[in-house]
Structure 1
């Protein structure tokens, strides 16, 4: 099994805790300024960019990482042997594997207790890169499978046991987004009632809820499940 953990770095962790809970994530333990963890279909990690001593982390606020949790790290490392892989040990986390794509984008993998995703909200980090062949191969080696794919390339939905990773042609980076199941208009109302300026936008692929980024970056996208397959296939 493989579960996606979308890690957000922020100067405003409390605002993100409130957003996570409004979306339907559940915290298995109380968050603090350095780290909060919220579970649904996949895991949202909220990482403060300053520790309790005011020391600033290496990550800029508003940036996102993809971390994958697997049952067997040795098996994952073996499956990734054809890629650029480095074994590291991180304080507080333990042994990890870092996988670097030719574009410079990297993701991390660690071993842990995993469970299948649950709930009406999923993490959906998006891996942007000009050529999607390599990131797709990396994720498939870790047990992901392709869902909806654009007929002309440019988009691949990668599915696993908890959470979703989107692969999108573009300037190399990791972007933050979510996927919501159910009534998107009701979700927008719930967000507005909680104090978030939420609007519903019709995109070519699906409807989305847009809210302002608490860190002042690009709008946060919460995408409905794609039903219209014009120009796409499963």
Structure 2
């Protein structure tokens, strides 16, 4: 069973200098639905980039995966069989936390909206049990797109905007293991986007990776991946 209603991916990044993230979101063409605050701000592109000031539990650059749904009760029913906790958060309302066998947690609340943009959020869920992560996201209404022929990667798209990449933790380049990593996805001309970011005062360079080209921004540190056109070793499931 899966949630049939709309779902939107929200990538939450914790920042020591949130204003820098606000400026980056603006340079990327993402739009704030309400005036940004120092402690919390949201920017709509494809999905939602949320910027939270760093905390004692969440240091600079750490990332959470949050999903916005239309019906939290339906989401809770769809996740029957998984370890979930429901709690009430002041200013937010009820929130559902689902914990994977790896210990990775994903939070869910109401507030789904339809978002569009040339730059989208694509948090990466690093976990060796890819099938479990995929099953959780499918239960919440996301659908598979490009997947690696030999396993190790699958991207999951949300109807309301944004996507989640599921990646084998054993192949994580920084060696930090299972968890949520920060990334963005861009369509169109990456060279032009990198030049635009440079004009806005960011250090940005385009790098050729095995799967696609990507922009590396130095401060704040983030990768903006280009869309994958070469499907050698991959296939589409959508």
Normalised to the residue count of structure 2, the TM-score between the two structures is 0.92
Give the corresponding residue for 2:193. Answer: 187
CA contact (8 A) 2:32 2:41 kept: yes
Give the corresponding residue for 1:78. Answer: 77
1:105 aligns with 2:104: yes
Distance in 1 (alpha carbons) for counterparts of 2:192 and 2:183: 18
Moved over 6 A (4+): none
Taking a change above 3 Å as real, the CA distance of residues 57 and 90 of structure 1, as seen in their structure-2 partners, is farther
1:101-137 residue CA offsets vs partner (Å, 9 max, x unmatched): 111100100012x332211010000000111011100
Give the corresponding residue for 1:130. Answer: 128
Gaps of 5+ in 2: 1-5, 170-176
Distance in 2 (alpha carbons) for counterparts of 1:202 and 1:59: 31
Give the corresponding residue for 2:213. Answer: 207
Secondary structure at the residue paired with 1:230? coil
Distance in 2 (alpha carbons) for counterparts of 1:46 and 1:115: 18
Give the corresponding residue for 1:39. Answer: 44
Secondary structure at the residue paired with 1:65? strand
Distance in 1 (alpha carbons) for counterparts of 2:49 and 2:10: 6
RMSD, aligned α-carbons: 0.9
| Residue 91 (structure 1) shift | 1.5
Q: Kindly report which structure 2 residues correspond to 1:1-234, keeping only aligned pairs within 5 A, or say none.
A: 1-49=6-54, 56-112=55-111, 114-161=112-159, 162-170=161-169, 171-214=177-220, 219-234=221-236
Taking a change above 3 Å as real, the CA distance of residues 33 and 57 of structure 1, as seen in their structure-2 partners, is farther
Gaps of 5+ in 1: 50-55
Secondary structure at the residue paired with 1:62? coil
Distance in 1 (alpha carbons) for counterparts of 2:168 and 2:219: 23
